Amino acid sequence: RRCGVSGGVGCEGWRIRARMDFIRSPSTAKGKRELLTAWFVGQGTMLVFPFMALSFVLSSIPNQGAPTVLAGIFLVMEVLMAVAALRQPKPGADHWTPMAFGAVLGVTLVASAMCLINCIYWGLLSKCTDNEVHNVDQYKCDKRVAMKVLSSIAAILFFSNSCLAGVMVHWRTTFEVPETAGSIGDMHDEAHAASSFPSIPESDAPLAPAPPTSADL
C-alpha cells in the first residue's frame, strides 16, 4: 500500500510499522549497516558523552582518574571510527573490507574490556567511607555519587559493546567481499602454464610421405 500526498493517521501508522519491521529483521546488508550505525550513534549520544563528562569530574582521583579520561576519549573514537567504517564507500558496495571489519571488531572488544575495568573499579571505590583510622590520603570519598553513576554507565557500555561484537561476528558473512570469477593469483598461474607449455596448433593439411628406406629398395 502506498501513502498519498496528504498522508494522514493511517499513512503514519504504516510508516511506523515499516520501521519496526526493519528494526526487527534487517535482511539486507544495507539494513544491517544502518542498524549498526544507529546503534553506535545512540550509544555514543546516550552513554559515551555522559561517561566522558563524569571522567572529567573524577579526573582528580589518583591512579585511575587520568586513565578514565583516556577511556572516555577512546570510547568517543570508537563511535567515530565505527560510523566512518560503516559508511558506504561507493554506490553498490555493501561490504566491508576485511581490514575495516577487523579494526571495528577489535576496537569494540577493547572498549568492552575497558568499560568492565572501570565498572568494577569505580563500583568498589564508591563504597569508601571517611574513616580517620583507615583514611588514605590519596583517595577521597566526596565524589561517591559520580563514582556510582560512572560505574553504572560503564556496566551498560560493557553490555552494549559485548552485544555489538556478537552481532558483528554473527553478521560477518553479510559484509564479506564477494568472490570474483577468478582471482589474480589463479589468472597468473594460468598465464604462466600457457607460456611454459605452448599448444601445437592443429592443421587439416595432409602429412608429407615418409622418405624411402633400404627395405623399400
Domain segments of the chain as ranges: 28-176
Considering the entire predicted model, what is its pTM?
Answer: 0.64
Reference 54, options 121, 151, 194, 139; nearest CA is: 151
Distance CA 43, CA 107 (A): 15
| Amino acid identity at 142 | D
> CA of 105: how far to CAs of 36, 73, 110, 114, 176, in Å?
12, 18, 9, 14, 14
Q: What values do phi and psi take at 108, rounded to 5?
A: -65, -40
Distance CA 87, CA 95 (A): 10
Per-residue pLDDT of the chain (217 residues; tens, 9 = 90+): 445 555 555 555 555 555 555 445 556 667 777 788 888 888 888 999 999 999 999 988 888 888 999 999 999 999 998 888 877 555 445 556 777 778 888 999 999 999 999 999 999 888 877 655 555 666 667 788 999 999 999 999 999 999 988 988 887 776 655 544 444 444 455 555 555 545 555 555 566 666 666 665 5
